Each structure stands twice: as C-alpha cells, then as structure tokens.
Amino acid sequence: MSGAPDTVPSWETVRSRLRAVEPEFYELEPGGSLALGLDEEEGWILEVTPDGRVICQIGMDMDDIKNLMSDGTCEDLGSDEVAKQAKFYLQPAVTKKRNVLLGAGFEESTDMNDQYVATLFQRAVDFRNMEDVARSVRWCREQFAR
C-alpha cells in the first residue's frame, strides 16, 4: 500500500527549495516568479514560474530601442516598427543559443508589450520532482557559462 498521494508542493515550498539550491534567485515580484541572471554580457535571465515553467529569456526595453532608433530626435515611432527593430537587435544573441535550447525541449516564443520585447525559450517542469527542477536550472546556467 502506498503512502500519501503524489501531490504538487505549494509555490512557497518550491521557492524555498530553489533558493536553498540557488541562493542567487530573486523574486521578480513578491510571491511571484524567481529569476537569476544567466550572463551579464547579453542580458539573458532564467525564470522559474509558479505555474511550473523554466524560461530562458532575453529582452529589450522599448524605450531603449526607441532611443537607439531615433538617435536623440523626438520622432514618434510605431510600436510594430520598434518591435521589429528590437528583434533585429536580439537576433545575434538568440541565434547563438537557439539550437541548444530547442534541442533540449524548450519552445521558442516572443513576448511583447508597451514596455519590452523578449524572446523566451520555455519548458514545463514538475514541482513534484525538485531534483529534476534543480537539474534543469543547473543545465541552463551551464549553457550560458560557456
């Protein structure tokens, strides 16, 4: 006869365990996702979300892109034009990591709003297997340490 059912631990429990394994994790907002920097040069970050996803992402602030594009002028740029330019700036960094992340089962997507444009590589993790979650975090860190 087996013991207790295989229940998913609470996000609070998962956060505590992850922070014990990787003390560099910080909260993006109180009680929300945990994040840590993957590299300083290009700005990749790793995020573990309360809904059970590991995300490697890189993004740019829309205002930064507008400043780069307008070269100090007061030109009013459309958000579609700015987003296209942000993707262009992000492309070299994304291209370097795309194959290894897709090969490891991550799915690629783009996230955009009025504040930023980001390329995300994400995959689901099972919080019932914290060793596997920790292994995923370590694997991601190793890929960006190269």
Asked if 39 and 97 touch (Cβ cutoff 8 Å), the reply is no
- pTM, rounded to two decimals: 0.86
Average pLDDT, the chain: 88
* Domain residue extents for the chain: 11-145
- The closest alpha carbon to 19, from 40, 8, 32, 35, belongs to 35
pLDDT (tens digit per residue) in 28-49: 899 999 999 998 888 999 999 9
CA dihedral (103, 106, 109, 115) in degrees, to 10, reads -120
- The answer on pLDDT for 73 being more than 80 is no
> What is the model's pLDDT at position 3?
43
Token pair, residue 52, equals: 């059970």
pLDDT band at 1 (very low <50, low <70, confident <90, very high): very low
Q: For the sheet with 107-112, list strands across it.
A: 26-27, 34-37, 45-48, 53-61, 116-124, 107-112
The strand pair at 53-61 and 45-48 is best described as antiparallel
Token pair, residue 59, equals: 């993004």
CA distance 5 to 143: 35
The CATH code belonging to domain 11-145 is: 3.90.1150
